[in-house]
Amino acid sequence: MQIFKVGGAVRDRLLGLPVTDIDWVVVGATAEEMLAKGYRPVGADFPVFLHPQTGEEYALARTERKSGRGYGGFTFHASPEVTLEEDLIRRDLTINAMAEDDQQNLTDPYHGQRDLEARILRHVSPAFAEDPLRVLRVARFAARYAGLGFTVASETLELMRQLSESGELEALTAERSWKEISRALMEDQPQVFIQVLRDCGALKVLMPEVDALFGVPQPEAHHPEIDTGLHTLSVLEQSALHKQPLTVRWACLLHDLGKGLTPEEAWPRHIAHEHTGLKLIKAVNERIKAPKDCQELALLVGQYHTHGHRALELKASTLLELLQSFDVYRRPQRFEEFIVACEMDARGRKGLEQRSYPQADYLRGAASAARGVAVQPLLEKGFKGPELGEALKRERLKALKAYKENA
């Protein structure tokens, strides 16, 4: 029995990055031997075991063969005869197909170290094209390592393109897709993920509503970058630079979908795109099965982001309606996420990345003014039920009018 550290732990150590998760491969062992040593079995499809002390995953060396469609369409074979090289060849990228023993002696049959040094994401073997999930994984690695200068090898991008055109991507479950998409959006450069998906034709399969934004112009006065797709990538980039949470990043990606529906004869203006885009945001949310908090914020940002930009001009009554729409009294955090999404949208424009955004503090002040209206005095005056609600609304409107006068 031989045990090797494999995959990301080896890759990140060689890159000088922190190693978080460690995967191990066991060569020359049977499941019975693992159980006898106290390892606990997990995973129904292939033999993976948890170490009795550390809880880390140890997998028996295995081969795999395509047997059906999609991510799960594989049969696995594990036996003591499977070599380390045979196990490594089934992995996605050369930089993930390296192993080392307990003396840090490297096994690198597919030249992963060479590709690390050349900053290339390259597939290990033609079997790469058998697993559609790898399209998303490679795009995610591109987003993670873009800051180090990594790019996708042209031949790998071609295989990803073939996968995108094959219909295999449709076989991915929404749960698997979302897991990769959400992880990619939280990388340092999530805009690279979207760009790579577009480069290989996967974006128009997975999120055609986002893909449709590229080539759609906007007024240059407000959008020096002009192209709506490029603007969306810039907004996403800003959300990562400012360390925003997943909810905000998802909303940033989807906020302008309505512009993809504007008739060409109306370009570059996009009248009422906030409302026309809602059905598209809803469609993406449901197809990808994003979590409820991501879905809700994306819809609210889509509908109201232009309100955010015009906050200083809004009437007190419109401000009140905006605050009510976000249920700002019970869910203040959601309104805060809306504010920062609007700020990312304002900054995601060519040459305007450092612009100030006074609307943010103005909206926070408005929310604070409305929340500052006390209920108790109204109860003491005898208001209750619907009448109490109307009285509260009147007092909040009065507070917002006073706030506007003094702002």
pLDDT for the residue 64: 73
Torsion of CA 374, 378, 381, 385, to 10 degrees: -150
Per the CB < 8 A criterion, the answer to whether 106 and 98 are in contact is yes
Is the confidence at residue 73, as pLDDT, over 70? no
Is the confidence at residue 70, as pLDDT, over 60? no
The topology (CATH level 3) of 1-109 is Beta Polymerase; domain 2 (3.30.460)
Share of the chain above pLDDT 90, in %: 88
The CA radius of gyration of the chain, in Å to the nearest whole number, is 26
Is the confidence at residue 44, as pLDDT, over 80? no
pLDDT band per the 50, 70, 90 thresholds, residue 20: confident
Mean pLDDT (the chain, rounded): 94
Task: Give me the residues paired with residue 106 across strands.
Answer: 100
Is the confidence at residue 66, as pLDDT, over 60? no
Give the long-range contacts of residues 224-229, CB within 8 A, separation 24 or more. 224/349, 224/350, 224/351, 224/352, 225/349, 225/350, 226/268, 228/256, 228/259, 228/260, 229/198
How many of the other CB atoms lie within 10 Å of CB of 339?
A: 22
Burial of 313 (C-beta count, 10 Å sphere; 0-12/13-18/19+): exposed
pLDDT for the residue 407: 84
pLDDT tens digit sequence for 282-337: 999 999 999 999 999 999 999 999 999 999 999 999 999 999 999 999 999 999 99
For the chain, the residue count is: 407
Per the CB < 8 A criterion, the answer to whether 301 and 257 are in contact is no
pLDDT for the residue 79: 85
pLDDT for the residue 130: 87
- Please state, in angstroms and as integers, the Cα–Cα distance from residue 192 to each residue in 18, 45, 147, 150, following that order: 22, 33, 10, 11
Give the global pTM: 0.92
